[in-house]
Structure 1
Amino acid sequence: MQRRQFLAVSLASATAAWASQGWAAAGAPKYLTAAAKPGNSTWLVGLTEDAKIAFEIQIPSRGHAAAAHPERAEAVAFARRPGRFAVVLDCVTGQEIVRLDSPEGRHFYGHGAFTADGKLLLTTENAYDIPDGRLGVWDATDGYKRIGELPSGGIGPHEMIRMDDGGFAVANGGMQTHPDYERAVLNIPTMQPNLTYLDAEGAIIDQVEPPADMRLNSIRHIAADASGRVVIALQWQGNPLQEVPLMASHRRGEALQFFDHPETRALKQYAGSIALSADGSQIAVTGPKGGHVIFFDGTTGAPLNGQALPEASGVARFGERFIVTVKGGVLEGGADGGHVVLVDGDYSWDNHLVAI
């Protein structure tokens, strides 16, 4: 889909939106996350600000992340890579609205984002036989019909987020994979991740790559503040004995900045999710493989405290600090401490906690 076509579709859709109930009708959830229960049933869960379950809706298989519609009480639950489906759910009734199937030669990467007006959904995808990264474009005003695709700007697009200016940032992880080889990385000798910026019309406006010594540090998960700063959770694909920083930040027009932490090793070279506190004073990075969270000063990037937290997975803003999904519940707090709130349901959380 060309840039002008993308914009034309967005404008044409302005007259096609249908009325639907808002998030208050779904129990006023503040967060969405994918989870599993004993017996391997899989769910999309809405959590309120006080960590109560607003809703729980069963989904077909293990989910990864979700995208929340900016106005309607609808959420898109994405299958874990290399999943080929995403489910659009009515979070008031618990009913499936429609199931999205990736086109031939594509699979989803577990993430997506709505345009600011909620009329279009963009999904990160692997065009695995080319290979190249794609962003699928789906019309949310017409039954989520697929209407085209855009280049992601690199190989292995994973998380994408909408920025405050209406544009998008895309974490192109750099890892070439193919469903015939499960989750094996096929391009280690040439791997080159990047962070790509798109404007609100879907055109690539900027990109940045890590330096040569960090090219095996896959750019996977991202968050941003109102100023346009992007913070990045990294996953090292190089020598498992080599210690490297797993957090970076970026402002357009500058180079990537990498920040290490004395407890980085506890993440086992795999940073799961990342978030900025609402006041910008702290950055939190989870390590689900290591059961650990590390915190950084949000202004200087200096390391703050870390905490051992079993199954620490998703993280999002919570007031001036954070909420982190952990075994049996959530942590509410930050580098200066916190407390765990138990959540009913015996859930095992997946990697992400999406703020609505």
Structure 2
Amino acid sequence: MTTRRGFLVSLFAAGAGAAAPSLGWAAAGSPAYLAAAKEPDGGFALFGLSADGAETLRVPLPARGHAGAGHPSRPEAVAFARRPGAFALVLDCAAGAVMHRLTPPGGRQFNGHGVYDPTGELLFTSEQVADGSAGRIGVWDVADGYVRLDEFATGGIGPHDLRLMPEGATLVVANGGIETDPTDRTKLNVESMTPSLAYLSLDGALQERVDLGPDLAQSSIRHLALRDDGLVAFAMQWEGPTGAAVPLLGLHRRGAAPVLASAPLADELAMQGYAGSVAWAGDGTEVAISSPKGGRLHRFGPDGVFLGAVSRADVCGLAPRGTGLLASDGLGGLIAVEAGAPAALGRMDRAWDNHIVAL
């Protein structure tokens, strides 16, 4: 089998993927976003949404979806199961059909997130070893029908989100630091967690790792958002004693110490130690985290200064929209947030899952 390094060298040397396919996302209604949801009959589907919140496509899913990844040029998307998951579906969003069903190797589990490389020739998936929760990144050859090419370590345990840095040559991974039971998600190491932010080359070399230190060792790093200049925002979930007012947002620029962003005490407590999603506003002037448990989202400046809160029951999904943000909730609502002012875009008869993926 072709090695990962050899494949990458040949891929970029030949300029693979440089020619844009003739069939683009316009064939699927030109969605601006993808989001999974539960429907009134108990079924699940992945939806495409316009910038104004209108439905542009629907593809059924066999079980609850979590996040997804959109191909950079073709109307293809990968829908990931909620972690720990056993499926990832490659969807033809123009035809509304399943193209491929990805299954991790024996002893592995998908962890809900993935990302394409800039050419769309490779897919990287967040995974863990079922026994012990050691982190792995699966590498899939898209051009060869999503055949698994290789895998490499994430530099931590319990990885969740991963993103491609703006320069297109580095992955950043949120290692949650939690060992979980492979069958029922029971957390096995809450007293000895090791959350970290890891930067990896596309062939798996660990370039930089950021640890939070003993005071925040029980702050699981879960989700990521990137600004165009490479500033990483990471959302955390507190696994320590209840009632603690700990920061749930961190900001990191490579080579520097992380900045931990805190809200005023009452606001921090209202989040109930849980940040479900994170996103930069479209103009990059602020970043938000959401808490479905607390029914609110918090806004911060790029320096970590708290800008304010927006109340919304069961809010979780976040994505850039225009110069502001798009948010979704478990009651079917879609909300635009501009400079802290929410405006309803509509409500649909479904329960949106945790994430909105911007295309």
Smaller-chain TM-score range? over 0.9
Query: Aligned residue for 1:336?
Result: 340
Matched residue SS, 2:187? coil
1:334 deviation in Å? 3.5
* Superposition map of 1:152-163 within 5 A: 152-163=154-165
Root-mean-square deviation (Å): 1.9
Work out whether 1:279 is the aligned partner of 2:286. no
Q: Letter of the aligned partner of 1:329 in structure 2?
A: G
Q: Does 1:111 align with 2:126?
A: no
Gaps of 5+ in 1: none
Q: Is contact 1:295–1:334 with CA below 8 Å preserved after alignment? A: no
Aligned-partner residue type, residue 314 of structure 1: G
1:178 alignment partner, SS class: coil
Shift of 1:347: 1.3
The change in CA–CA distance for 1:12 and 1:238 in structure 2 (over 3 A counts) is same
User: Taking structure 1 as the reference length, what is the TM-score of the superposition?
Assistant: 0.94
Task: Quote the offset at 1:306 in angstroms.
Answer: 0.7
How do 1:212-227 and structure 2 match up within 5 A? 212-227=214-229
- In structure 1, the residue matched to 2:143 is 141
Where 1:152 maps in the other structure, the secondary structure is: strand
Inter-partner Cα distance in structure 1 for 2:263 and 2:103: 40
Question: Could you tell me which residue of structure 2 aligns to residue 288 of structure 1?
Answer: 292
How many residue pairs get aligned? The number is: 353
Alignment deviations for residues 307-352 of structure 1 (CA, whole Å, 9 cap, x no partner): 11022111011111100012332110144312011143x1101111
Who is 2:102 aligned against? 100
Partner of 1:348: 351
Contact 1:312 1:324 in 2 (8 A): yes
236, 239, 242: which one pairs with 1:237?
239
Q: Tell me if structure 2 keeps the 8 A contact 1:124–1:159.
A: yes
The equivalent position to 1:176 in structure 2, one of 176, 179, 188, is 179
Deviations 1:14-53 (A, max 9, x none): 6589946211111010011110111211010100011100
Give the secondary structure class of the aligned counterpart of 1:223.
Answer: strand
Name the CA distance, whole Å, in 2 between partners of 1:335 and 1:187.
40
CA distance in 1, matches of 2:218, 2:294: 20
Cα displacement string for residues 44-100 of structure 1 (whole angstroms, at most 9, x for unaligned residues): 010001110000111000000000001110000000011110000000000100000
1:14, 1:309 → 2: CA distance? 46
- In structure 1, how many angstroms separate the alpha carbons of the residues matched to 2:69 and 2:241? 34
Change (3 A) 1:200 1:136: closer
Structure 2: 5+ residue stretches without partners = none
CA distance in 1, matches of 2:246, 2:16: 50
What corresponds to 1:22 in structure 2?
A: 24
Equivalent in 244, 249, 252 of residue 250 of structure 1: 252
Match of 1:52 in 2: 54
User: Is the partner of 1:77 in helix, strand or coil?
Assistant: strand
Give the drift of 1:131. Answer: 4.0
The CA distance in 2 between the partners of 1:33 and 1:15, in whole Å, is: 29
Contact 2:296 2:312 in 1 (8 A): yes
328-337 or 3-12, which deviates more: 3-12
Partner Cα separation in structure 2 for residue 114 and residue 77 of structure 1: 13
Taking a change above 3 Å as real, the CA distance of residues 334 and 19 of structure 1, as seen in their structure-2 partners, is closer
What do residues 221-280 of structure 1 show as CA deviations (whole Å, max 9, x unaligned)? 011112211001100011112221111111111112111112122221110111111322
Match of 2:325 in 1: 322
Distance 1:128 1:5, change over 3 A: farther
Q: Which residue pairs with 1:123 in the alignment? A: 125
CA contact (8 A) 1:304 1:335 kept: no
C-alpha spacing 1:284/1:57, structure 2 compared with 1 (3 Å)? same
Whole-angstrom distance in 2 between the partners of 1:281 and 1:343: 28
